[in-house]
Amino acid sequence: MTSGLRQPMSNETETTKRVFSQEILRTIKSIITSDRTGLFALFVMLALALLVPAALPSPAAARPRASSPRSIVDAVRLRGGLGHAAPGPLEGPLIVSAVPTKPFEGQKPGTSGLRKKTKVFQQEHYLENFVQSLFDSLPPEELLGSTIVVSGDGRYHNAHAIHTICQLAAANGVGRVWIGVGGLLSTPAASAVIREREGGVAFGGIILSASHNPGGPDEDFGIKYNVRNGGPAPESVTNAIHERTTTISEYKSCLNLPRVDLSQPARYEFERREAAPFVVEVVDNTEDYLALLKQAFDFPKIAALLRRGDMSLVFDAMSGVAGPYAHAIFVREFGVDTSALLNCVPSETFDGGHPDPNLEYAATLVARMGLTKHGTPSPDEVDAPVFGAAADGDADRNMILGRGCFVTPSDSLAILVAHAHTIPWFQREGGLKSVARSMPTSGAVDRVAEQLGLPLFETPTGWKFFGNLMDAHLLGKEKLSPLICGEESFGTGSSHVREKDGLWAVLAWLSVLAHHNKKTPEGALIGVHEIVREHWQRYGRNYYTRYDYEQVDAADAARMVAHLLEYAKRFQEEGYGPESPQRLTDMMALSVVDEFSYTDPIDGSVASKQGIRFLFDDGSRIVFRLSGTGSVGATIRIYIEKYQRPDDSDALEMEVAVALEPLVELALAISKVREFTGRDRPTVIT
């Protein structure tokens, strides 16, 4: 009998099965030839016979394995995290089943894929419908025999979802699936694997993550598709997927595909009747990504900085997928003691936390860095490290802190652009070519780009909008890479991959610190606050805050948006504009009120309804936007920004809440957010 799983069965396993079966037959014969008193025993033995395949070790489980050093991911023994079940015996080739189904409402991907409550994804056929719709939306001739990446951030339901996707991939003609050890790949690492592994042969990747949202049976799960360039699928693809979900009537799955052992690198082949074998490869989840970072940064220079007696750091992975990468980089490469790493063991529930790196949810790190939850220096004496950083659940977001200093994501982006020359990869590529930011992100980077003579692009929220800019030269346009881009929502990155990248931002900041301290003596180290202050003194300061109202009733949020659009309509009808601003107070005059729309300069596609902007004649802004990253209800985000020129040094050092108080009150009054939502205060202020 030939097994579809091409691995030899061990002699020990074969012998065990033969002896066990012979013992059962002898017992049955004895019962039948003696009397009827043993019928109950016969029943028990027959039941045991049926359980033999499950009770005995599978061929793969019985196979001898070389011992390997204990990995940080070995600590995860979770239903939604690492899969440790070895492949069960597969008798014969994979069988493709056509499973009848019906459409589910609401399977429309948002800013970063489809995100819902975990229980929604656990509904029968729900995940299968979406994945089949994805496969149906791809060119069949390119999908056939292709290699795809399937991994996630380790949240609850991750391992089960990976197995389900493999079953559908095998049935839909995919040739090979790459899965990170433990089913884990950070989102930027998945992009790197798609782009770099075996010269970039992967057709795309399915990433299982709800990013910075909580995980668990009662929390969030997510799925998104990344295309061949390693970036999020463009709207043309996600729209096609959604359209297909509304008409799907069946999906194809190889239901007899056994689970594979995800605990260590391995290769598995499964026979198919009318196609080449289906291959599953479990790959090292840090290898490709780490190799790429080593090309981008000067690791020896960063290591030398971290060896200084006056330098110290702390990194918080927030119990997300960044943990294994933090160990590989900080401990293995730089020699940092593990005591500098917080929450670096991945957890399917993020240890009950909210893996969003901000002042509210990264409270342990914030306090350790000598800060209050408002980002101001703590009144208590704290022996804080020089540098602190955090990443979110899938490691694509970052928060940067200094001793008693919170760096806003918008300032972080601007400072990294101003210091791009300190990063070797940009030097080798002939220097930075362009800069991009999402519309709600502050204008801090605009002033840097202007002084450096770099083109700047203002896009809607969503990393996919940066992808076309990065690949402009491949689409017949002027080359805009290397490029640095960022979002106010703690996302920073560059064209080294096609996703935002939390650890890239951390290493970029360490490169900036190394540059500023290459000649400073021990005990005179220049820290984060000094670098930030120097930046303000040169370019000015953009005071910035964001108010988040989470899980708002969708109808209430829609009424607030309608109210703001009516304000914009009246503003234009009454003739206000840049030449004749609407004066609200002696200090505030509105010059623009509009709904942001974006025409992609590369492919001409249009993204409308991207947020409502209130622009003031002094450079201040208020932006209102509904977020597409939540799983329940609506999230209202209010972005408030005030620009302070660099010629008033005292005004550069104000507390953010004090500097923005008049604009905050105006934003709350204009939007009537309290009246529409019934909320006295936002869920989170960052």
604: domain CATH number is 3.30.310.50
Give percent helix, percent strand, percent coil of the chain, each to the nearest 5: 40, 20, 40
- Average pLDDT (517-533) is 97
Q: Are residues 412 and 483 in the same domain?
A: yes
- Average pLDDT (34-60) is 39
With respect to residue 263, please indicate whether it lies within any of the assigned structural domains.
yes
CA distances from 110 to 234, 241, 628, 630 (A): 11, 12, 5, 9
Final residue before a domain boundary, out of 239, 262, 285: 285
More confident residue, 474 or 163: 163
pLDDT computed for residue 82 by the predictor:
44
> Residue 46: pLDDT above 60?
no
The contacts found for 580-587 with CB under 8 angstroms, 24 or more apart, are 581/616, 581/617, 584/666, 585/662, 587/662
281: domain CATH number?
Answer: 3.40.120.10
With respect to residue 659, please indicate whether it lies within any of the assigned structural domains.
yes
Q: Which two tokens stand for residue 605?
A: 């596609």
Q: Are residues 621 and 580 in the same domain?
A: yes
With respect to residue 6, please indicate whether it lies within any of the assigned structural domains.
no
Percent pLDDT > 70 in the chain is 86
Pairing of strands 313-316, 387-391: parallel
- Average pLDDT (172-181) is 98
Strand boundaries in 351-395, DSSP class E? 387-391
Average pLDDT, the chain: 88
Q: Which of 74-83, 329-338, 419-428 is the least confident region?
A: 74-83
With respect to residue 220, please indicate whether it lies within any of the assigned structural domains.
yes
With respect to residue 67, please indicate whether it lies within any of the assigned structural domains.
no
More confident residue, 637 or 382: 637
Backbone φ and ψ for 6, nearest 5 degrees, come out as -80, 70
Which residues, at least 6 apart from 19, have a Cβ–Cβ distance to it below 8 Å?
Answer: none
More confident residue, 59 or 493: 493
Q: Are residues 321 and 224 in the same domain?
A: no
Rounded Cα distance between 396 and 378, Å, is 28
pLDDT computed for residue 606 by the predictor:
92
Q: Is 16 exposed, middle or buried (0-12, 13-18, 19+ CB in 10 A)?
A: middle
- Average pLDDT (438-449) is 97
> Residue 149: pLDDT above 80?
yes
Selection from 275, 22, 278 nearest residue 167 by Cα: 278
Our answer to whether residue 489 is catalytic in this structure is no
pLDDT computed for residue 659 by the predictor:
95
Q: Are residues 652 and 628 in the same domain?
A: yes
pLDDT digits (tens, 9 = 90+) for 259-298: 999 999 999 999 999 889 999 999 999 999 999 999 999 9
> Which strand ranges, in their side-by-side order, compose the sheet holding 621-627?
582-583, 589-595, 612-616, 621-627, 634-644, 541-552, 684-685
String of b and e for 85-120 (b: at least 16 CB within 10 Å)?
Answer: bbbbbbeebbbbeebebeebeebebbbbbbbbbbeb
pLDDT digits (tens, 9 = 90+) for 640-649: 999 999 999 8
Final residue before a domain boundary, out of 285, 301, 316: 285
Q: Are residues 267 and 361 in the same domain?
A: no
Contact 600, 429 (CB under 8 A): no
Q: Are residues 497 and 554 in the same domain?
A: no
With respect to residue 337, please indicate whether it lies within any of the assigned structural domains.
yes
pLDDT computed for residue 633 by the predictor:
81
pLDDT computed for residue 595 by the predictor:
96
Q: Are residues 271 and 306 in the same domain?
A: no
pLDDT digits (tens, 9 = 90+) for 87-145: 556 668 999 999 999 999 999 998 789 999 999 999 999 999 999 999 999 999 999 99
Q: Which two tokens stand for residue 430?
A: 């002939």
> Residue 229: pLDDT above 80?
yes
Q: Are residues 527 and 551 in the same domain?
A: no
> Residue 223: pLDDT above 80?
yes
Q: Are residues 52 and 84 in the same domain?
A: no
Name the pLDDT band for 51 (thresholds 50, 70, 90).
very low
Which listed residue (146, 151, 211, 434) is catalytic? 211
> Residue 65: pLDDT above 70?
no
Q: Are residues 297 and 313 in the same domain?
A: yes
With respect to residue 146, please indicate whether it lies within any of the assigned structural domains.
yes
> Residue 667: pLDDT above 70?
yes
Q: Are residues 189 and 249 in the same domain?
A: yes
Q: Which two tokens stand for residue 263?
A: 């605990």
> Residue 335: pLDDT above 60?
yes
Name the pLDDT band for 533 (thresholds 50, 70, 90).
very high
Final residue before a domain boundary, out of 239, 256, 285: 285
Largest CA distance in the chain: 107
- Average pLDDT (192-203) is 98
With respect to residue 5, please indicate whether it lies within any of the assigned structural domains.
no
**Domains identified in the chain, total number:** 4
pLDDT computed for residue 629 by the predictor:
58
Domain span at residue 505 reads 290-539
Q: Are residues 595 and 568 in the same domain?
A: yes
Rounded Cα distance between 386 and 114, Å, is 38
